Homo-oligomer: A and B are copies of this chain.
Amino acid sequence: MVKYAILGFGVVGRGLAEVMADQREKLAAAAGEDMELGYILVRHDYPAGPFQDKLIRDFSLIENDPSVAVVAEVIGGTDAAYEYSRRALMAGKSVVSSNKQLVAEHGAELAALAREHGVSYLFEGSVGGGIPLLRPLCRCLAANRIDEICGILNGTTNYILTAMAQKGQAYADALKTAQQLGYAEADPTADVEGIDACRKTAILADLAFGVNVDPADIPTRGITAVAPADLELAQALDGAVKLLGRAARAGEAVCAFVEPHFIPQGHILASVNGVMNGCAIRGSAVGEVVLCGPGAGSHPTASAVAADVADAVRHRADPMIPDLGAPGGRLLPADELCSRWYVRAQCGPEAVSAAFPGAEPVYGSTGECGFVTAAMLDRRQLEKKLAAVNGRAAYRVLA
């Protein structure tokens, strides 16, 4: 019998306490021993139902209790979460986390601290919510040189883009619906500007390429400029517009960016709709695998965090610390990456043919046209040509 503690009792924290109580026996089998909830650290008193007697406000009770083997940090942010994670690791306790900001910004440092103190540091819930993603990447695909990771990593923006595509809604209306349904926050900036996807992309790049990427270095564009016409034209071109976080091997360097993409319908990611997330991983032996599921939410995220708690207990003698890489790897500027492009433009078919030979424009209800370029162009080559067609939008095509 070991104890675990939960830091934070928000949506994920409450879900974690519930899921671990609900599947206690099965988790004990996975962990190799029974696990008991010791404490829930909160800042204020909450109505916590069956967990009321576990609430505490003083972290040192956890820090100083030798029966606590694992601390689950689900506070979010980088202030208290960072401090408590450090202190827990230094006290010889494994830490598991669903906090993408903390992992993206301080994960390598916390992993080093875990190594130093012989404990695990796991964060399956930080990317892709409940989707088994980081363990498959690091363990199941260990026999692969990873060549690219590319995912729909934010459910809010995917909900908005799906609503725009399927219901013809404008961006602002789709956002409002998402807020009413609880899929978007009152201040949606971190989601719609791609910041959340950027943090997750950084974590994936770290794990896939062994280079610790600063999320601030990842060029990031969100979905606020995506027009209903883009979704209409993309459908006519047999594709979908999705916000992708991508990290790819480019020679010895790594290229990473977050921006809206055109995904041809033949790719499974084009069928990942609503609040679902999906992530494609290309590896040297396996080819491509695509893992899809709920990228957020109380119990789905708790599912991932609870599995981490069990694995941390199971591996007390042989800690699990995914390799977040060494700092200082060179990120290739995304603008240099060649690809085909989806373009929305205001011009006749002759202008399209002249600037983009072979491209076949389709015309939508706004009178604008959409087409996919045949050539592989980097962004600067593309931009030189956009003026000739009155280009209004251009998104990379997922190869």
Interface of A toward B, CB cutoff 8 Å: 15, 19-20, 22-23, 26-27, 29-30, 32, 124, 130-132, 135-136, 138-145, 265-266, 268, 270-273, 278, 283-294, 297, 299-300, 302-304, 306-307, 310-311, 314-315, 317-318, 323
Contact = CB atoms under 8 A, between A and B. Distances in A.
B303 A283 contact: yes
4 closest pairs, A vs B, by CB?
A: A289-B293, A132-B140, A143-B306, A132-B136
Nearest to A320: B314
A103 to B, nearest CB: 17
B135 A139 contact: yes
A15 B140 CA distance: 16
A19 B131 CA distance: 26
A85 to B, nearest CB: 21
B289 A290 contact: no
A389 to B, nearest CB: 32
Nearest to A124: B140
Contact of A30 (B139, B290, B310): B139
Nearest to A143: B306
A94 to B, nearest CB: 15
A292 B290 contact: yes
A304 B293 CA distance: 21
A292 B292 CA distance: 8
Task: Indicate how many identical chains form the complex.
Answer: 2
Contact of A143 (B20, B140, B323): B20
A204 to B, nearest CB: 15
Contacts of A272: 268
A299 B306 CA distance: 32
B19 A285 contact: yes
B289 A130 contact: yes
A248 to B, nearest CB: 18
A144 B141 CA distance: 23
Nearest to A273: B266
Given A317-B317, A317-B318, A26 B143 contact: yes
A26 B141 CA distance: 10
A292 B273 CA distance: 16
B303 A294 contact: no
B293 A287 contact: yes
A129 to B, nearest CB: 8
Contacts of A135: 132, 135-136, 139-140
A139 B311 contact: yes
B23 A285 contact: yes
Given A285-B300, A289-B293, A141 B132 contact: yes
